[in-house]
Chain A
Amino acid sequence: MKKILKISVAALCVLVAFTSCNNSGKSGGKSGALASNIAEKVYVAPGEHDSHYAFISGGYSGNLTVYGLPSGRLFKEIPVFSQFPTNGYGYSEESKPMLETSYGFIPWDDSHHPDISQTNGVLDGRWVFINGNNTPRIARVGLRSFETEEIIEIPNSAGNHSSSFITENTEYVVAGTRFSVPVPQRDMPIKDYKGNFKGALTFISVDPEHGHMDIKFQVLMPGFNYDLSHPGRGKSHGWFFFTTYNTEEASTLLEVNASQNDKDFIAAINWKKIEEYVNNGGGTMMPANYAHNVLDENTHVTTSTLKKEVRVINPSEVPGAIYLLPTPKSPHGCDVDPSGEYIVGNGKLSANLTVHSFTKMLDAIENEKFAGDAYGIPVLNFEDVLAGSVEQPGLGPLHTEFDGKGNAYTTFFISSEVVKWKLGTWEVIDRKPTYYSVGHLTIPGGNSREPFGKYMFAMNKITKDRYLPVGPEMEHSAQLYDISGEKMELLLDFPTHGEPHYAAAIPAEIIKENSLKFYKLADNKHPRKATNESETKVVRDGKNVHVYMTLIRSHFTPDNIEGIKVGDKVFFHVTNLEQDFDVPHGFAMIGANNAELLIAPGQTRTLTWEPKQVGVWPFYCTDFCSALHQEMQGYVRVSPANSNVPLKWSLGEDIE
């Protein structure tokens, strides 16, 4: 009996030794044998699924990429603002209208800040909104199809940067102009900027059922630069906060001239108050030109509508709706904690990190403790609204996210690190280096009322030496940290496509069950569909020839077409008859001056081809679809412009 006791005590000691060893590994991040411990934390075995989706903006790629966490694996690139020859987005007749703007067809943009729709301040996983920065636009990506379903252009705006953040019931998506511009646009000297330019902050309502967007109103603010924004949460729901820089209203050499004021502002906007004003008929309808592009899931066709007016509000019309909170030196990030009490304004040129208190702000407003005004908008006293400062936390603070456990995580661009600090006590708890020059960081749900505070990832601007070198230009890098403990733990580096500005992340189970596997052919309402092989045909309409074609493993119907002439414009309307998960077919035509198509099961897409040379020209399937994929091919006979070869088509027999 004694012996047994001894053995079990010894075994217990060994166990304790191992456990404590593990613990020290966790907090200290030691190397050696413990490194494998970290690898296990990001290892997702073959066939198993990641626990989170991350939607990372592509910056200058104009797209949105979908990654898995914790593995860092890339699942998909979703084309949003840029043409995408991979599947024909922005090239096919159905998708071209999605890139229409008041400037015409713009096949590129600079996508910055994705944000996932919310209900009651909690991520609901229905849509991702993302802004196009260059030609101001907001897009909505559906999280059933993972496709861009809608894009709305923002008038009176330029450099749509403080976007696309959403209120806690997805009532509004906001679009804020980084560059102030003359409103309405006109020919005027640039040096007369001050007092004449305006900054438009746009509130776009979202239909709760379909997600359809509509510009409800624009607030025409003073000509500052509106950098980032964040909606209030919980107690501050109904307010929206925007950081500003260049409150000097300089128009040249901004790196000097816009860094003169010791304090810029956070603009606090009571949107509920303005909404009420608008609902009672307030505001002015102003002529404007902006495109609104909507994809119909049943026709698979995007329709672009040019809108002609927008409702604008001058701040003076709604007294008590807008206030300015002085915030040290060129604040960049503007982040509200999950409770809605703290508004973090990171003065990127300031030594300290400034946090405002929503309660104090309301109190100061109520007691009318104003320091003055800017263009009639009351300016509050810095000391009256200050909740506290994190003293000398690092250099160049940019963005803050929250873990839902009372902690905040701020990125520091110049000192390349993430700093964890405590809300309320303002003490620094931990800091970890990033590689290198970190911009945004993301905690799944970290800008909502209920963060899922297990992981945090930082998005870096510079990647040098983290991966094998691939020449002067390389992909950027993200770094994943485990933040479940007191100290942050670096788990993984992974490359990201384009320039990852910001990301939104969400637990996988909220989305994955709703993900569409294929489109139902029976629901396909495309005006030029062919839902079975007997509906295929070729129709001439003057110089336009419409080919109604179907695809199924492993043939096109028809596969031989004659009677096309040089100078014709041939529209291949291609319907994929498959009703099976992950069986798209491709369509590529020799000499087509646009792209290929990838057609999802049950979908119809149209590629235009203008034959320029007489001959017999092949087309083929580009997506390896079956054992006979290589045989999935056909020919188009092109005759001279003046020939009288009749239009004919066939499958399985020679053309008579």
Chain B
Amino acid sequence: MKKAGIIMIIGSLLLLGLFKFPLWNIMLGAPQYPDPLGMNIYIDGIQGVEEFDLQNIDGLNHYIGMKTIPKADEMWEFAVFPKVILGMAILGVVIGLLGFFKKISYKFFLGWFVLMSVLGILGMYDFNNWLIDYGSNLDPNAILKLNNPDGTPMTYKPPLFGFQKLLNFDVTSLPHTGGYLMFVGMTLTLVAFWLGRKTSLKKATQ
């Protein structure tokens, strides 16, 4: 259980990477933008990959009536997410420590993982809702109004994950360093669970 506890602690601490590195990244490339425009999504706000990328993305988006990219204080998420991440990291460390000193069962590791996954899925769901709103809640006075072939108004929701063509832009949406650290951390807590289980099963058979 000692080893499993340590892995649990390391896994939880990896979440803290989100305070330094972006969770997600969306890049927009087009023939007239040989250096693509990009935004990095942090848990406490959105920043341009280059200094003026957000301004230039907003400049482009105003043709189709999209809202400007929200500032940190314009979305409750950016106030809440850091607290949730910090809370989960602390909780994970505490569980890991308790596991290390064999005060609790390894099942708590899985419990943490499940809770984190539920929160993560809720976060993704919320993020996706925001993307839908951002891409489809358009200014009725927009300069360009485009319809899909079936006659419905075109929406410009960036992909939640992966690649999509939006008009002349190639949009790629992928996790970034902070996100990968989180995934690795969550995997480690699973490993901790698996190790803890193995140890306890071994004990049981002895």
Question: A interface vs B, CB < 8 Å?
Answer: 552-553, 578-581, 626-628
Contact = CB atoms under 8 A, between A and B. Distances in A.
B49 to A, nearest CB: 14
A579 B56 contact: yes
A2 to B, nearest CB: 55
Given A579-B52, A580-B52, A628-B143, A552 B63 contact: no
A308 B104 CA distance: 89
Contact of B55 (A579, A581, A626, A628): A579
Contacts of B55: 579-580
Interface in B126-158: 143-144
B59 interface: yes
A440 B51 CA distance: 45
A651 to B, nearest CB: 14
Interface in B6-56: 35, 51-52, 55-56
Contact of B63 (A578, A580, A627): A627
**Residue from B35, B56, B59 having most chain A Cβ neighbours under 10 A:** B59
10 contacts: A578-B59, A579-B52, A579-B55, A580-B52, A580-B55, A580-B56, A580-B59, A581-B35, A627-B63, A627-B143
A47 to B, nearest CB: 8
Interface in B60-74: 63
A403 B143 CA distance: 58
A553 B56 CA distance: 10
Interface of B: 35, 51-52, 55-56, 59, 63, 143-144
A578 B59 CA distance: 9
B143 A552 contact: no
Contacts of A578: 59
A626 B62 CA distance: 12
Nearest to A601: B52
Contacts of A626: 63
Contacts of B144: 627
A484 B33 CA distance: 37
Interface centre among A552, A580, A627 (most CB of B within 10 A): A580
Given A579-B51, A580-B55, 15 more contacts: A552-B59, A553-B59, A578-B59, A579-B52, A579-B55, A579-B56, A580-B52, A580-B56, A580-B59, A581-B35, A626-B63, A627-B143, A627-B144, A628-B63, A628-B143
Nearest to B34: A47
Contacts of A581: 35
A626 B61 CA distance: 12
Contacts of B59: 552-553, 578, 580
Nearest to B63: A627
Contacts of A553: 59
Nearest to B143: A628
Contacts of A579: 51-52, 55-56
Contacts, number: 18
A579 B59 CA distance: 10
Contacts of B56: 579-580
A552 B56 CA distance: 11
Q: Shortest 6 CB-CB distances between A and B: which pairs?
A: A579-B52, A580-B56, A579-B55, A553-B59, A628-B143, A580-B52
A578 B51 CA distance: 12
Contacts of B51: 579
A553 B62 CA distance: 10
Nearest to A577: B55
A579 B63 CA distance: 18
A552 B143 CA distance: 15
Nearest to A628: B143
A498 to B, nearest CB: 32
A626 B143 CA distance: 12
A557 B39 CA distance: 28
B28 to A, nearest CB: 13
A444 to B, nearest CB: 27
A587 B52 CA distance: 24
A580 B57 CA distance: 10
A448 B144 CA distance: 56
B169 to A, nearest CB: 14
Contacts of B63: 626-628
A180 to B, nearest CB: 54
A75 B63 CA distance: 31
B171 to A, nearest CB: 19
A628 B59 CA distance: 12
A589 to B, nearest CB: 25
A296 B144 CA distance: 41
Interface centre among B35, B52, B56, B63 (most CB of A within 10 A): B52
A552 B58 CA distance: 12
A3 to B, nearest CB: 52
A580 B51 CA distance: 10
A627 B64 CA distance: 12
A575 to B, nearest CB: 15
B127 to A, nearest CB: 27
Contacts of B52: 579-580
B52 to A, nearest CB: 4
Contacts of A627: 63, 143-144
A587 to B, nearest CB: 19
A578 B143 CA distance: 19
A581 B59 CA distance: 14
A621 to B, nearest CB: 15
Nearest to A553: B59
B47 to A, nearest CB: 15
B55 to A, nearest CB: 6
A242 B57 CA distance: 57
A326 B144 CA distance: 76
Contacts of A580: 52, 55-56, 59
Contacts of B35: 581
Nearest to A582: B32
A581 B56 CA distance: 10
Nearest to B37: A580
B8 to A, nearest CB: 46
B36 to A, nearest CB: 13
A85 B51 CA distance: 33
B66 to A, nearest CB: 15
A579 B55 CA distance: 8
B91 to A, nearest CB: 42
A627 B62 CA distance: 12
Contacts of A628: 63, 143
B65 to A, nearest CB: 13
A398 to B, nearest CB: 43
Contacts of B143: 627-628
Nearest to B51: A579
Nearest to B35: A581
B166 to A, nearest CB: 16
Nearest to A552: B59
B57 to A, nearest CB: 10
A618 to B, nearest CB: 21
A579 B35 CA distance: 14
B53 to A, nearest CB: 9
A485 B59 CA distance: 52
A547 to B, nearest CB: 23
A625 B54 CA distance: 19
B107 to A, nearest CB: 54
A579 B56 CA distance: 7
A580 B52 CA distance: 7
A628 B144 CA distance: 10
A626 B59 CA distance: 10
- Residue of B35, B51, B55, B144 with highest tally of chain A CB at under 10 A: B55
B5 to A, nearest CB: 50
A192 B51 CA distance: 67
